[in-house]
Structure 1
Amino acid sequence: MNFSESVKKALKTRDLSPTDLARLTGYTPQYIHNLLDGNRRWNETTINKACDALGLKIKVEPD
């Protein structure tokens, strides 16, 4: 699962919209929609802000 899909799942679980995530992270709704649609790339800052806003943790595991 890619990061955008994980964020979409977290939004649905928490009954939040991408616009809510934009408000929580300080980004514009259009920017968040572009990230989620794959039109923009996630960077370390946006990933960290999204994780903080949604209570997500990134876990790296070997295959």
Structure 2
Amino acid sequence: MNFSQTVKSILKTKDLTPSALARMTGYTPQYMHDLLSGKRRWNETTINKTCEALGIEILIVSKEKKEERKVI
């Protein structure tokens, strides 16, 4: 799952719209819609502001570790 898909899923879970997320992050609704649709690329700042607004964090997990967890 990519970052945009993850954000969309979280928005749905929290009953938020992309426009609401835009207000929370200080971006325009159009800019947020463009990020979520793939018309614009996420950068470190937009990812950080989005994570902060949604109360989430990104964890880096190696593929090896991920595969080990599936087996167990």
Structure holding more helix per residue = 2
TM-score, normalized by the shorter chain, greater than 0.5: yes
Aligned pairs for 1:1-63 (under 5 A) are: 1-63=1-63
What is the aligned length? 63
Structure 1: segments with no counterpart, 5+ residues: none
Q: Paired residue for 2:68?
A: none
Alpha carbon RMSD of aligned pairs, Å?
Answer: 0.3
Displaced runs of 4 or more, over 4 A: none
SS at match of 2:52: helix
Render the CA deviation track for 1:8-60: whole Å, top value 9, x for unaligned. Answer: 01100100000000000000000000000000000000000000000111000
**More relative contact order, 1 or 2 (CA 8 Å, 6+ apart):** 1
Give the TM-score taking structure 1 as reference length.
0.98
Give the TM-score taking structure 2 as reference length.
0.86
Structure 2 Cα separation of the partners of residues 10 and 27 of structure 1 = 18
Structure 2 Cα separation of the partners of residues 45 and 13 of structure 1 = 23
Counting aligned pairs with the same residue, the percent is 65
Structure 2: segments with no counterpart, 5+ residues: 64-72
